[in-house]
Amino acid sequence: MSIKRIEPGTRMSQAVIHGNTVYLAGQVGAPGESVTAQTKDICSKIERLLTESGSDMSKILQATIWLADMEDFAEMNAVWDAWIDPANPPARACGESKLATPDFKVEILIIAATD
């Protein structure tokens, strides 16, 4: 099976396709913005990468969400619930973690099918 890398860099690729599965790198929003703004930005990036990978939101298999502060859970979920395909919700985990910089409040990692 071939491996295709989307937006490869020296440290990582934004997405990797292997077989019928696409693995997205953890996506973050604009540093210093609100949880709502960062989550909306992340969702937009996810949609773009899924499209570029030959997938879409209905094919998301798993989402892993990290919040810098679990106090932001409801704010993030308000954006997530409005964005996610209600007919095809993925398996999901959400936890609190120290992110790359204090300016990041949310990071989301996605695994999706391509067909």
Span 52-68, average pLDDT: 97
Q: pTM for this one?
A: 0.95
Per-residue pLDDT tens digits for 10-33: 999 999 999 999 999 999 999 999
- Range(s) of the domain holding residue 34: 3-113
How many folded domains does the chain comprise?
1
CATH number of the domain enclosing 45: 3.30.1330.40
Q: Provide the sign of the torsion angle of the four alpha carbons 110, 83, 66, 104, taken in this order.
A: positive
Span 63-86, average pLDDT: 97
Q: Provide the sign of the torsion angle of the four alpha carbons 55, 60, 66, 69, taken in this order.
A: positive
